[in-house]
């Protein structure tokens, strides 16, 4: 349900290109397990997340292709107090797309289709999409509207078994959102279409094909699909938060997620999958490079996350990372390779709580293994104005305590308060603010709570030139509820003594000070169990 894509081609898909992202084995001794200090830091970081409101986390640490540590934290079922284990099955969301992409590439290798084939060759009934190439679908560059976000879906995803025609009807008459190949945009529809291509070309159901040709080849004996969850004895309960209440996430019929978010797996099996893929056991090495290496759009422009087919290429504090993540209504997960370290981290959680995203779970584990990188991220920058920092803190506490509500805010801030409060509830106590310098605004300000939310960009009011030239004051807020939680805010002290929030809104200093006084007594109120679930559903990054 969430994920990213993009592909490379031709000469780029070479063994040399693949080597760039393969786990390096040279110049390193045989892989060893975690040392006592590393294990203690990892355990503490994961337990911190659980204490902060995440019901359960499952982690695997892989070094040089070998799982050296696997552990579960928290509960697979909170009510029953059933603990998470390293082999607890969970939905992996849009990481399902990796398996669909591999299946398409296998059919290419078998000579049964070409990536340059037009979709109309296989699904002629989708008239508006007939000229999109399979390559563009693999790269999520087709511009197809996402069926999951169509108004007509409503509650049907929970109550009705879909057919291909029923899903196609949700978007087939909607015009393409952009010219294929000119943009990247995550959506479920394009991989749903690829799943149908696999079925029509192979003569098998999508599930049957990937079981035999992907899962079996990788030795993934604990991997299945959502259709079989009821028969899994240890399957985790997924949680979300809807309309302020936390509870079990509703089930969706598995066919809604066909080829897009249908897979259920474990961290151990996801490690087996990655090892088999990189070893060339699933697809040819040229196609492994196609999946993992960054490639531009058809028009030559780079994608935001330097995406390959299902894998993204970014970094954490200059540590290169090749990764893919996913989520469903009640689950999230991420599979990340750090090629320069010979390290892979796989994290799954049974909580899709709107502000709990996969990347902060990953960051907590990575920083536990690389404390020097955490020190860089949370190290202060010179030039702090302590008065501004104090005003930020007071304002955040006031909003979290409800002392500043939408009715007390300016027009531009009203919606922001509703967004900020659950983020601050999730962060627990703000133990410290770390100044990170001033940066030029580019029309939007950024709010980030690692351990709770990944980067979110809000438009500054109007996004006009004056706002784009504004300066932002960035801080990291480290909350007691999580190990690696930070807050990048963009407040600014103006001549009229107003506080500029992360959304570019303002609050008068007198109102801020008064509300801060009433909030001071609430600084120790942590949001136990305050998990906020992604009410939006699958496919969202």
Do 238 and 352 contact (CB within 8 A), yes or no? yes
Average pLDDT of the chain is: 74
- Output the 3-class SS for 294-321: CCCCCCCCCCCCCCCCCCEEEEECCEEE
Provide long-range contacts, Cβ within 8 A and 24+ apart, for 301-306: 301/182, 303/4, 303/6, 303/184, 304/184, 305/4, 306/6
**Which of 73-77, 81-85, 436-440, 528-532 has the least mean pLDDT?**
528-532
pLDDT value at residue 428? 54
Q: Which CATH number is associated with domain 10-30+91-313+321-334?
A: 3.40.710.10
Nearest of 249, 452, 288 to residue 358 by alpha carbon: 452
Provide long-range contacts, Cβ within 8 A and 24+ apart, for 165-172: 167/192, 167/256, 168/125, 168/126, 171/144, 171/145, 171/146, 171/147, 172/125, 172/126, 172/127, 172/128, 172/129
Residue with tokens 């302590």: 386
- The dihedral over CA atoms of 138, 141, 146, 149, expressed in degrees to the nearest 10, equals 120
DSSP assignment letter at 213: I
* pLDDT 10s digits, 52-105: 778 999 999 999 999 999 999 999 999 999 999 999 999 999 999 999 999 999
Do 307 and 313 contact (CB within 8 A), yes or no? yes
**CA–CA separation, 159 and 169 (whole Å):** 17
Chain centre to alpha carbon of residue 451: 12
Mean pLDDT, rounded, for 3-19: 33
* pTM of the full structure: 0.76
**CA–CA separation, 53 and 356 (whole Å):** 10
Nearest of 477, 489, 456 to residue 378 by alpha carbon: 477
Mean pLDDT, rounded, for 368-397: 77
**Which of 97-101, 239-243, 256-260, 288-292 has the least mean pLDDT?**
239-243
**Ranges 73-77, 296-300, 472-476, most confident:** 73-77
Work out the angle at residue 320's Cα, subtended by the Cα atoms of residues 314 and 322, and round it to the nearest 5 degrees: 60
CA atoms within 13 A on the CB side of 378: 21
Sorting pLDDT into bands at 50, 70 and 90, what band is 377?
confident
Do 222 and 269 contact (CB within 8 A), yes or no? yes
Nearest of 354, 362, 333 to residue 537 by alpha carbon: 354
Do 60 and 67 contact (CB within 8 A), yes or no? yes
**CA–CA separation, 266 and 60 (whole Å):** 9
**CA–CA separation, 416 and 406 (whole Å):** 8
Domain(s) labelled CATH 3.40.710.10 in the chain stretch across: 10-30+91-313+321-334
């Amino acid at each position: 349900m969430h994920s990213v894509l993009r592909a490379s081609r031709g000469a780029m898909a070479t063994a040399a290109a693949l080597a760039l992202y393969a786990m390096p084995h040279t110049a390193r001794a045989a892989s060893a397990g975690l040392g006592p200090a590393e294990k203690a830091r990892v355990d503490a970081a994961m337990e911190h997340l659980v204490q902060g409101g995440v019901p359960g986390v499952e982690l695997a640490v892989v070094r040089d292709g070998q799982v050296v540590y696997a552990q579960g934290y928290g509960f697979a079922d909170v009510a029953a107090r059933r603990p998470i284990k390293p082999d607890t099955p969970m939905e992996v969301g849009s990481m399902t797309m990796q398996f669909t992409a591999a299946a398409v590439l296998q059919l290419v290798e078998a000579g049964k289709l070409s990536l340059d084939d037009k979709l109309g060759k296989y699904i002629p009934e989708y008239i508006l999409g007939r000229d999109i190439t399979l390559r563009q679908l693999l790269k999520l560059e087709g511009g197809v509207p996402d069926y999951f976000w169509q108004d007509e879906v409503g509650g049907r995803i929970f109550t009705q078994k879909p057919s291909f025609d029923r899903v196609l009807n949700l978007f087939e008459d909607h015009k393409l959102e952009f010219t294929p190949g000119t943009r990247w945009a995550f959506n479920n529809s394009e991989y749903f279409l690829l799943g149908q291509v696999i079925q029509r070309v192979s003569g098998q159901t999508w599930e049957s094909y990937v079981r035999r040709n992907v899962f079996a080849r990788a030795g993934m004996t604990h991997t299945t699909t959502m259709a079989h969850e009821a028969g899994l004895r240890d399957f985790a309960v997924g949680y979300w938060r809807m309309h302020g209440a936390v509870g079990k996430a509703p089930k969706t019929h598995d066919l809604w997620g066909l080829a897009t978010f249908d897979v259920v797996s474990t961290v151990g099996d996801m490690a087996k999958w990655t090892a088999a893929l990189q070893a060339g056991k699933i697809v040819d090495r040229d196609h492994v490079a196609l999946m993992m290496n960054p490639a531009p759009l058809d028009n030559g422009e780079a994608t935001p996350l330097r995406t390959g087919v299902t894998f993204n290429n970014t970094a954490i504090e200059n540590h290169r990372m090749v990764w893919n993540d996913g989520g469903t209504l009640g689950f999230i997960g991420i599979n990340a390779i750090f090629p320069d370290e010979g390290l892979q981290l796989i994290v799954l959680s049974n909580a899709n709580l709107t502000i709990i995203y996969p990347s902060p779970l990953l960051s907590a584990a990575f920083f536990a293994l690389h404390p020097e990188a955490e020190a860089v991220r949370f190290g202060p920058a010179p030039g702090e104005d302590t008065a501004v920092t104090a005003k930020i803190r007071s304002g955040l506490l006031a909003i979290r305590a409800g002392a500043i509500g939408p009715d007390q805010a300016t027009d531009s801030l009203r919606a922001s308060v509703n967004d900020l409060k659950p983020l601050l509830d999730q962060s627990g106590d703000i133990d410290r603010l770390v100044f990170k310098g001033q940066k030029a605004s580019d029309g939007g300000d950024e709010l980030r709570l690692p351990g709770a939310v990944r980067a979110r960009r809000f438009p500054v009011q109007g996004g006009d030139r004056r706002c784009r030239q504004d300066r932002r004051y960035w801080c990291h807020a480290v909350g007691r509820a999580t190990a690696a939680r930070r807050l990048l805010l963009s407040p600014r002290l103006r001549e009229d003594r107003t506080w500029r929030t992360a959304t570019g809104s303002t609050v008068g200093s007198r109102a801020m000070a008064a509300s801060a006084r009433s909030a001071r007594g609430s600084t120790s109120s942590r949001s136990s169990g305050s998990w906020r679930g992604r009410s939006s559903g699958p496919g969202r990054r």
